[in-house]
Structure 1
Amino acid sequence: MSAEIRDLLDRVYETWNAGDAAAYARLFTEDADYITYFGATMKGRQAIEEGHRKLFTMPIKLESRGEPAIRTLGDGVALIIATGGSTVDGAPDPGRDSILTYTAVRTPEGWRFASFQNTRVSQP
């Protein structure tokens, strides 16, 4: 399970950095709950795709920051807490580092995210 979830996380970065809103949205369940670091919410795969289509035209790329913590909550359900950041126009911006919380579920399509929340890391 861990390897499959890590692969799903890798695809988050791959699809985002490729600017592929449809492929990015397919990583989520049809009824996923998605909360951005601005506090905006999106409900469902279609809203996630539409919400990222314009965003992906901007020069923002994602980077992983360390190993994610993956905890099994039950059969076919896992909690993932990861850290990540982004670059704007190729320059790292530590002020944009985030803690990313996902709930992954096993579906007929394979592992998908049923929920996501992006919270900015507090700067001391």
Structure 2
Amino acid sequence: MSEEKAVLEVLAALAEAWNEGDAAAYGRLFTEDADYVTFFGMNMPGRQAIEANHRALFEGPLKGSKIGVGGAGEVKVRFVRPDVAIVVAGGGSSLEGAEFRASTVGYVLVRNGGEWRVASFQNTRVSDPAVAR
């Protein structure tokens, strides 16, 4: 399997875990010391915080939400070293009955022991710059 395909499989697994509301599976795809920056600027440092916060979200305000990666735009994978990949992708989320919220997401993935994991994640909501002033 190509390294790019392996990286893309991690992104697909993230979406699958989210869409199933499985915080443990979602959290396992991050490194122990990962940083997860939400669209509103909150940082969740570390796998445990990422899992715990997503468990609360999946059981509460984001219960039943769905995400997609790449559906709202191109997925660009760039290897800065053989064991470090930077990914910028279109994505977004939706709640049942609500409008799709498009995002641009950035990931830094690292390969350790043959497995790719997310070391850093940044979600930025797509908005009209004229409105965002």
Identify whether the pair has TM-score above 0.5, normalized to the shorter chain: yes
Secondary structure of 2:127's aligned partner: coil
Q: What are structure 2's unaligned runs of at least 5 residues?
A: none
Partner in structure 1 of residue 42 of structure 2: 40
Aligned residues: 122
Larger radius of gyration: 2
1:68 maps to which of 56, 71, 75: 75
Is residue 2:101 matched to residue 1:87?
Answer: no
Question: Identity over the aligned pairs, expressed in percent?
Answer: 51
Tell me by how many angstroms 1:122 deviates.
Answer: 2.0
> In 2, distance between residues paired with 1:74 and 1:52?
30
What amino acid maps onto 1:106 in structure 2? Answer: R
The ranges of structure 1 where at least 4 consecutive aligned residues each deviate by more than 3 angstroms after the TM superposition are: none
1:54 maps to which of 37, 53, 56: 56
> In 2, distance between residues paired with 1:109 and 1:55?
31
Q: What are structure 1's unaligned runs of at least 5 residues?
A: none
Partner in structure 2 of residue 100 of structure 1: 105
Aligned partners of 2:21 and 2:64 also within 8 Å: no
Tell me by how many angstroms 1:107 deviates.
Answer: 1.3
TM-score by length of 2: 0.86
Aligned partners of 2:14 and 2:26 also within 8 Å: yes
1:67-96 Cα offsets, whole Å, 9 max, x none, are 310001012001000111111115442xx2
TM-score by length of 1: 0.92
1:32-65 Cα offsets, whole Å, 9 max, x none, are 0110011111111000000100111223111232
1:111 maps to which of 116, 130, 133: 116
Worse-matched range after superposition: 71-80 or 108-117: 108-117
Aligned partners of 2:39 and 2:122 also within 8 Å: yes
Secondary structure of 2:108's aligned partner: strand
